[in-house]
Chains A and B, each alone.
Chain A
């Protein structure tokens, strides 16, 4: 059995998810036969986030022994409770933003060191403006985290659980109309479990 996430004691997990009560909470788990790969675990975590009233996903890359999750609940129960309250009824919506060809890092190379430094400074300024634009729009949904991956931006918002295809399309339209994001390729995906709200990573540009 692999632990997939944490939830409240009152919840009930749909099959094939297993519900293992522990320390006033519950571990959402699945038999190894259906959760051996990261892809399978991801699919099951999406199911958990979509059906449980509150779901805190565990790292998806590795198989996690339920005993490790039990120990976490024993040692950090109060913090887990606060986090479950925070993500209750919410899902994660992701926006990936990369500069369109010719607008940024892919622009023609500068001839000298000074020109190169100015190009990088201009790129930094565009990234900062785009990050601010993403934050401003996504903040209307809920809590926002924006991180930098190379020359790209990855934003996550803790949106209301009803975020469906129509809501994502509407969000994509709003983002496309934002002047701070002109020249950026945008990809909106979701709903996902609240991965970005399960660690402290937030190297905001």
Chain B
């Protein structure tokens, strides 16, 4: 049993593996959209990690006003760019959440 009260990792993976097609799917009829979803999902995941790190630094008081502005602007524009690219492939921000099975979802 895991520390947080969940199932054993191995069992969780085994249960999820019973339906492997429920994970990331690459459909031959819409390869471009599925690949875009995968790549943009990873990009958004990394951007959110950077945003959380920036918030931690903000809350700890280790950022100057200039650094706050620069980091915030970079992250804000990165988010807008990722959402714009997603829109070109007919994807919404919610579509960028990737299912990692027993590890949960990325976004």
Contacts and interface: CB of A to CB of B under 8 A. Distances in A.
A199 B12 contact: yes
A58 B10 contact: no
A80 B11 contact: yes
Interface string A101-141: 00000000010111111101100100000000000000000
Interface residues of A, number: 40
Interface string B64-107: 01001111111110000000000000000110010001111101
A115 B68 CA distance: 8
B25 to A, nearest CB: 11
A121 B55 contact: yes
A202 B101 CA distance: 11
A203 B102 CA distance: 11
A31 interface: no
A68 B15 CA distance: 10
B14 interface: yes
Contacts of B29: none
B7 A117 contact: no
B18 A68 contact: yes
Interface stretch (A17-25, A59-67, A89-97, A180-188): A59-67
Bin chain B's interface residue count: 35 or more
A49 to B, nearest CB: 15
A76 B72 contact: no
Interface in A12-48: none
B22 A198 contact: no
B104 A202 contact: yes
A167 interface: no
B16 A117 contact: no
B54 interface: yes
Nearest to A196: B6
Contacts of B102: 199-201
A86 B8 CA distance: 12
Contacts of A76: 8, 10-11, 14
A199 B101 contact: yes
Interface in A64-100: 64, 68-69, 72, 75-76, 79-80, 82-83, 86
19 contacts: A79-B10, A82-B1, A82-B7, A83-B7, A113-B72, A113-B73, A117-B55, A117-B68, A118-B68, A118-B72, A120-B51, A120-B55, A145-B6, A199-B12, A199-B102, A200-B2, A201-B6, A201-B102, A203-B104
Interface of B: 1-2, 4-12, 14-16, 18-19, 21-22, 51-52, 54-55, 58-59, 65, 68-76, 93-94, 97, 101-105, 107
Interface of A: 3, 58-59, 61-62, 64, 68-69, 72, 75-76, 79-80, 82-83, 86, 110, 112-118, 120-121, 124, 143, 145, 147, 149-150, 197-204
